[in-house]
Amino acid sequence: MREYDLCDLVCPLSKIKATELIESLSEGETVKIILGDADSLKSVAQELKSRGIKPGFEQDGESKFILTISRG
């Protein structure tokens, strides 16, 4: 599974990059996107919701959020 660490991008750059990644997913592909702040998490989650994608979610420490995203 490919993993993308976007912790060095603050919102909305993290959202812009995550959106690019989501749009580049091929059918059946799963990726992990790691975000480094709550605003990034909120805006990426919003983007996923608008696309009807329900991600897996894990939190690593206080400010590391891991979303697992699949294109079904």
Partner 1 sequence: MSQKKSSEKRTLHKELDHKLRVYSDITQLIASPENPTPLVRLNRINPNKDFPIYLKLERYNPFGSVKDRIVYEMLRGLEIENRTLVEPSSGNTGIALACIANVLGVPVEIAVPEAIPNEKKVMLRLLGAKLWEAADELCPRFPSEGARGVVDGLIKSPATKDKYISPNQYENELNVQAHYRTTGPEIWKQTRGKINYFFAGFGTCGTITGVGRYLKEQNPKIRIIGVEPSSPNHRLPGMKRITGLDEEFVPRILDRSVIDDSVEVTDEDAYRTAIELARKDGIPAGPTTGAILYVALHYAESNTGLAVVISPDDAFKYASFYLDIFEAQEGKVRGEKYERV
Where does this chain bind partner 1 (CB under 8 A)? 8-16, 39, 42-43
Q: Which residue is associated with the tokens 């709550």?
A: 38
Q: Which residues pair with 66 in a beta bridge?
A: 34, 58
The DSSP secondary-structure symbol of 25 reads P
Give me the least distance between CB of 72 and partner 1, in Å please. Answer: 26
- Prior bond of 55 cis (ω within 30°): no
State which residue, 8 or 27, has the beta carbon closest to partner 1: 8
Give me the least distance between CB of 6 and partner 1, in Å please. Answer: 9
State which residue, 16 or 21, has the beta carbon closest to partner 1: 16
